[in-house]
Chain A
Amino acid sequence: MTIKRLDINQPETFSFSKKDNELIDKIIKNYPKDRKQSAVVPSLYIAQKRAGGWLPEKAISKVAEILEMPKMRVLEIATFYSMFNLKPTGDHFIQVCGTTPCWLRGSDKIKKACVELVGKEGEVSSESISWLEVECLGACVNAPAVQVNEDYYEDLNYENMIDLINNIKKKKAIKVGSQIGRVSSEPINTGKQNA
């Protein structure tokens, strides 16, 4: 984990869409009237999506304004959780799980594939792909796993990770989930999988 700071290059403006505002209002209504701040994490997540996968300063202060919170408190939350990115990410944002089960099952090789085909961790490539090592994705049974934007890709190894990134580059559709034909997290030697 590295120190999270606001990016040097900040966009001039940030605004929520009408739909975003409706969604945030709906989330706020889940909590008592004077406990608006409870909606801060989902609101920031919506803001991150709106800003293109990362949180500019304007987005943080906008969320603070909507939830009537001190800006400092919102910044604390944005820097605390690793799912909030304070630096721009690519259109295809690969989150590589590096926590113990994935690591034992070879996440180092996945990272190697990323370095070779995408580039340095945290930097956006010319094809607008970026990758980041993250904490446990919760897919330990199908380790190692990565998350690309909203989808999980599991049971990876060096070779199929290379294929995966190449397919992203070629804008080819990729099967979501296990890359070795496993259904959910069934035992690996049922004979059904094609690997």
Chain B
Amino acid sequence: MPKIIIDGKDFEVEENLSIIQACEISGVEIPRFCYHEKLSVAGNCRMCLVDIEDARGMSPKPVASCAMQVSDGLKIHTKTQRVKKAREGVMEFLLINHPLDCPICDQGGECDLQDQSVAYGVGGSRYEQNKRSVENKDMGPFIKTEMNRCIHCTRCVRFSTEVSGSDEIGAIGRGRDMEITTYLDVAVKSELSGNVIDLCPVGALTSKPYAFSARPWELKQTESIDIMDAVGSNIRIDTKGNKVMRVLPRNNDEINEEWISDKTRFFWDGLSLQRIDKPYLRTDGKLRQISWEKALDVASDKFLNTKPEKIASIIGDLASIESIYALKKLMESIKSPNTECRQDGSKISGDRERWLFNSKLSGIDESDGCLLIGTNPKIEASIINSRLIRKSKENNYSIGLLGRKVDLNYDYKFLGDDPAIIYDLIDGKSSFSKNLLKMNKPLMIIGQGALRGNKGEDYLNLCIELAHKYNFLKDEWNGFNVLHTAASRPGAMEIGFLPGEKGKNLDQIIKSYKTGDISTLFLLGADEIDLSEKNDCFIIYQGHHGDKGANIADLILPSPSFNEQNGLFINTEGRVQESIRATFPLGEAKEDWEIISLISKTMGLSNIFKSFEELRSSLFYDYPNLSDLDFCLSSKKFPKKLNSKDIKDHIFTDSLNNFWLSNSITRSSKLMCERNNISKKLEQAID
């Protein structure tokens, strides 16, 4: 470990660090614009200049600390007169062509250029000539551009190459005429494009939906998690009053690093549209407002007067563990076996290791090859795909896809979209078998689209068999991964909200709902199931958006969305995280657990949770693992090999039909609809 001296103080740092990293770890601040720890080093802003001194004496000129490695005995000076002057000079050059329109700039208050010019710049300007002007570019509905402000740090360009893998943003021209743009000025297509807004150190790329709506110091910040997909990205929800103004990523190297998908970043306008704020009951074919007492009476009446096997309940994609737990308790006490959490029809089941992302997201970085089965990680989990993009750029990292052919922003070997090809892989007859044999730490990522239909469970077993055949399960390495798309699913699986003895699964519930074998159906925010054929079944929908579920419901119970109540979620790798309330529920909405508790109370049941804390402690008593926040539920075991039946007629389906409109919140969002239309247009243009 090299010993270095920074400003006269001794430090010992790790090897292979750049000076800027070593200083950051040692607590010495170095200003920077182009350097970003998650991107490659460009060294073009020159703001991070420092003086270095080694055995040969002082460096003849200041060096860029982002592009210089530490070595043993290196003396770093960050406070010399020369460094101060160099920084002032760089700052002055950067400001030559910067418009200084801070009062009308959305970056104001959280602008690197603003902060650093105060801290490291000179007080006044010597520049009297005209500034250059640059045309603004159209980068789609999310990114607002004000290209006069651009200081050409190229962070956005490096991001689009290295992280989103789409190579859409580039710098044309050179020198004074350099401009950041997209090819032919078209909208950015990447699912991660919004991150360039955070990356931009100035106000050149800002958020279009958030434009001119608030200043950062007016916002209340709540650290929460995202439930738009099952990755569980860490987010910060910024609110003003009771309104969500924007969503930003929080750094968590284990999960989302510094990125979030565009769906997570921009879903929030859907939170104030199409909301259910009062209980409704369908009378004479029309939904009419009713009081809570009446609503609870109707619900409890239905539960009490229907045979338990004729009651079914389905969990939606956005439900928290607490609400699922409360509903499970209710269903247990009325002895209804028809409980289902897999509303997309996938057939995952059994122990944890059979349906978790066992290698963890950080395991992707360790792996040396990857096999994707029936999945499109680009839209199912953009964050995971960006890790794969990074790996795909490494030498000898091969990726194979068995499933529908899709564009993933990297090259892969397409093995076909017939599920039976898995037999070739197991027998070693496939062209990809050779690659698999060479891998010591291979990954297998199975999408929900591969596990639907009658043969879904058999197919899961076949995948496990394949995993045992190669090095997927070896010593300390568990590369058997199931990728979830619904935030609630792993939590519900952990709680075991699955069909009980003689209970019906999703397909059977839908079938018997049509025949009348199910006469009371409880939907906890379940909007993605096809129940269009209306009949005599009484449907209770508990949720927050007037979407498909509410459309067919006979009784609607308003509940808050995830940002309006606390709740636990387990992400696809098994990490328990808490979503924190950022705003208050709308209208008469009651929290999910409370509604279920009140129904139990009205029914006269004995075990009722009186408070959220009581529910939590009961939950933690039953499932002690869940109290370890931010840790992964792990399973030391490997998934067991089970015999599988013939998988004839099994087909791969799309795990997610539409990235932008995947849940009730995004379907209500104008922005998501706009973005979806752009995607559609682009697809048509390609056809």
Contacts and interface: CB of A to CB of B under 8 A. Distances in A.
Contact of A4 (B167, B177, B182): B177
Nearest to A57: B184
Contact of A3 (B169, B177, B184): B177
Contacts of B170: 72-73, 75-76
A76 B172 contact: yes
B317 interface: no
Interface string A59-78: 00000000000111101100
Interface of B: 167-177, 179, 182-184
A4 B173 contact: yes
A78 B173 CA distance: 8
A3 B168 contact: no
Given A71-B183, A80-B174, 15 more contacts: A1-B175, A1-B177, A2-B177, A4-B172, A4-B173, A4-B177, A57-B184, A70-B167, A70-B168, A70-B183, A72-B168, A75-B170, A76-B172, A79-B172, A80-B173
Interface residues of A, number: 14
Q: Binding site of A, secondary structure by majority: helix, strand, loop or mixed?
A: helix
Contacts of A4: 172-173, 177
B166 to A, nearest CB: 8
Interface of A: 1-4, 6, 57, 70-73, 75-76, 79-80
Contacts of B169: 72
B177 A75 contact: no
A71 B185 CA distance: 12
A2 B172 CA distance: 12
B179 A3 contact: yes
A4 B173 CA distance: 6
A39 B170 CA distance: 19
Of all A-B residue pairs in the complex, the 10 with the closest CB atoms, nearest first, are A70-B167, A72-B170, A79-B172, A72-B183, A3-B177, A76-B170, A71-B183, A79-B173, A80-B174, A72-B167
Nearest to A79: B172
A72 B170 CA distance: 6
Nearest to A86: B172
Contacts of B172: 4, 75-76, 79-80
Contacts of A1: 175-177
A3 B167 contact: no
B188 to A, nearest CB: 11
Which among A2, A4, A57, A70 has the highest number of chain B CB atoms within 10 Å?
A70
Contacts of B173: 3-4, 79-80
Contacts of B179: 3
B686 to A, nearest CB: 13
Nearest to B179: A3
Given A4-B173, A80-B174, A73 B167 contact: yes
A6 B175 CA distance: 18
Contacts of B168: 70, 72
